[in-house]
Chains A and B, each alone.
Chain A
């Protein structure tokens, strides 16, 4: 019956829920679903052609030259994930431990470690591109100044150093994030447990491996999952530092650049193919969703509730 308190309450709730729901549906759900649909059509520029089933997926996975490009870019992403796992999350954990143990200068370092995280990725990319400049970059100038001119390299120009340079720039930028998450996790460890440990052993190693690491498992779940998603969506740093082609000769090509190039084209080389690009986007999305799901599930299982 209209006018009853229950009905008006329901009306009131739905009036609050419907607008945001409609907003999300229109601007999040609909684009994702339509991107899925795009992958099944042939495209002339941005004009949709006929329905082609899985032809776009077949094209990017099994026909040349796309198959080689896909594998090349994918392997680089895998590489980036494992490298950042060590350089970003591993170093982040160690930094967090040092900060947690309140080594001298902890207060200062707590801020300085996190500072680069607040910089825009684009700025970090340009900054490191300048640092690594072969002639005027601070890296090469420092080496030459120290009499180590032999170590001065065209960092972004050779395949042996280019991808590592990008990984390093990314780790420098983001290392503060896992540090902060791990630090928060460590600070949640109850004092009684730590006191009990101190009765048993003086070894830092035992403390880290037997107590701290297992007890920051929830933090690890968060940073591992986010790193996985970030590594396979990696775009800004490579785009700014080496360009859409993944210079030199595809040595830094990753799925993000490859997808962009394929879908939207590249003025200095390739044409646009929205179908193949959408297929790649769908594949990347499905891969990330599945693996991130598995990672979260597995890591959750080993978390200990205190």
Chain B
């Protein structure tokens, strides 16, 4: 008996020392501290299916995430798996050669993703994808259903409808829009959310083909309409910051908020009783295609020099799966980039429907690869436009000449 106990203890001890060597522990870096609980859930779903692999989720402060990550990768102490930013933010990391190249052979599910989703995690110079995109965001108009119903309004079909609805709200003593533009990046948001339909798909295609620049009359025309509708923004909106604008809408003082789909969850949390609806701001005529502005805001990548590459790729395949996409949409209330995901929340389902008619959120998607970035230029030029310091034509011209510093098609 004593012998048995002894040998059991010895065997258990041996197992205990051997197990960690057999188990592969992967580190997974993120900037989403607020999503930690949900990610633990996703990870345990993966771990139960893949015994022997454990994933440790670690979060860092969002604003400094890229700096922390690039420093760690350069110093050789980077994680096995990590969140990556998209577009220019992804390229700064990928260009150091730190990320594992992904394709059909190691992550087959990637071939089902949409082209714009993949483009957000693909380096332009070598056409290589480095991350599994996780979510898209959409710039659109969010409205307060109760206020719309009370004033007998419905989602506007044409620009005239849009102006009339704003006029009616204003006459009823309700702020039509809650937006303010004192916070610089909000200027880019209102352009994407309000006038994408007016600039139109044709302009976008010509811009990408090098046949048009921002002095194009479709773009300038869109800015003219933008300036026009800011008449219905709150008094002194050029001095109104982002947080105040959100509060105006979530407290039910304003009828509409031009913003990203990421606002929906926040508004719901601030005011659970508010009924919200969304629509794509209309074009000039009712028959014009109604477009939202779309971008992808993050992806999952693996360390090219990681010790547990095989296990990391296994985890990436899980993150690219339908199963994960569905959990992501259900638990995080975000538009998963995985194709074919359905949405419990009807509003998110609507966002996904609107995404079928979209153009990219221009400056973020295509013009953040040099200095001055299109975003920096647009934000400050729109502030000039709305402050009465520049005409739409001048804004178009300044955007084009500013970008010509580094954007080859604009160089003359």
Contact = CB atoms under 8 A, between A and B. Distances in A.
B373 A135 contact: no
B237 A249 contact: no
Q: How large is the interface on B (under 10, 10 to 19, 20 to 34, 35 or more residues)?
A: 35 or more
Contacts, number: 135
B272 to A, nearest CB: 24
A47 interface: yes
Contacts of A271: 88-89, 92, 368, 371, 373
A152 B236 CA distance: 9
A29 to B, nearest CB: 23
A140 B236 contact: yes
B71 A269 contact: no
A45 to B, nearest CB: 3
A44 B235 contact: no
A133 interface: yes
Interface stretch (B182-190, B278-286, B345-353): B182-190
Interface in A123-147: 129, 132-136, 140
A227 to B, nearest CB: 28
A134 B241 CA distance: 9
A155 interface: yes
Contacts of A154: 182, 236-240
A157 interface: yes
Interface in B358-395: 368, 371-373, 375-376, 379-381, 383-384, 387, 389
Interface in B56-78: 62-64, 66-67, 70-71, 73-74
A60 B4 CA distance: 77
A233 interface: no
B185 A46 contact: no
A65 B67 contact: no
A70 B371 CA distance: 14
A66 B370 CA distance: 12
A240 to B, nearest CB: 11
A65 to B, nearest CB: 5
Q: Is the interface of B mostly helix, strand, loop or mixed?
A: helix
B8 interface: no
B66 A45 contact: yes
B383 A249 contact: yes
Interface in B225-241: 234-241
A158 B238 contact: yes
B33 interface: no
A213 B371 CA distance: 50
A267 B63 contact: yes
Contacts of A270: 371-373, 375-376
Interface string B84-127: 00001100110110000000000000000000000000000000
Contacts of B184: 243, 245, 247-248, 268-269
Contacts of B96: 44-45, 47
Nearest to A247: B184
Interface in B203-251: 234-241, 244, 248
A248 B236 CA distance: 13
A269 B373 CA distance: 6
A47 B234 CA distance: 46
Nearest to B406: A65
A249 B387 contact: yes
A153 interface: yes
| Most chain B Cβ neighbours within 10 Å, of A140, A152, A269 | A269
A177 to B, nearest CB: 29
Interface string B170-199: 000000000011111100100000000000
B88 to A, nearest CB: 6
A157 B372 contact: no
A90 interface: no
B236 A153 contact: yes
Given A134-B240, A157-B236, A250 B182 contact: no
B71 A47 contact: yes
A303 to B, nearest CB: 44
A272 interface: yes
A258 to B, nearest CB: 12
A38 B297 CA distance: 31
A64 interface: yes
Nearest to A136: B244
B405 interface: yes
A245 B239 contact: no
Find the residue from A249, A264, A265 having the highest chain B CB count within 10 A. Answer: A249
B252 interface: no
Of B93, B181, B188, B236, the most chain A CB neighbours within 10 A belong to B236
A153 B244 CA distance: 16
Contacts of B376: 245, 266, 269-270
Contact of A249 (B64, B71, B185, B381): B381
A54 B184 CA distance: 32
Given A44-B92, A45-B66, A271-B88, 18 more contacts: A46-B71, A46-B74, A47-B73, A65-B405, A66-B371, A134-B234, A134-B235, A134-B236, A135-B244, A154-B182, A158-B239, A159-B387, A245-B184, A247-B383, A248-B184, A248-B383, A268-B375, A271-B373
Interface of A: 44-47, 64-66, 129, 132-136, 140, 152-159, 242-243, 245, 247-250, 264-273
Query: Which 7 A/B pairs are nearest by Cβ-Cβ distance?
Result: A154-B239, A134-B236, A45-B70, A157-B239, A157-B238, A47-B74, A268-B185
20 contacts: A45-B74, A45-B92, A46-B67, A134-B237, A135-B236, A153-B236, A154-B237, A156-B241, A157-B182, A157-B240, A158-B239, A248-B184, A248-B387, A249-B381, A249-B383, A268-B184, A269-B368, A269-B379, A270-B375, A271-B89
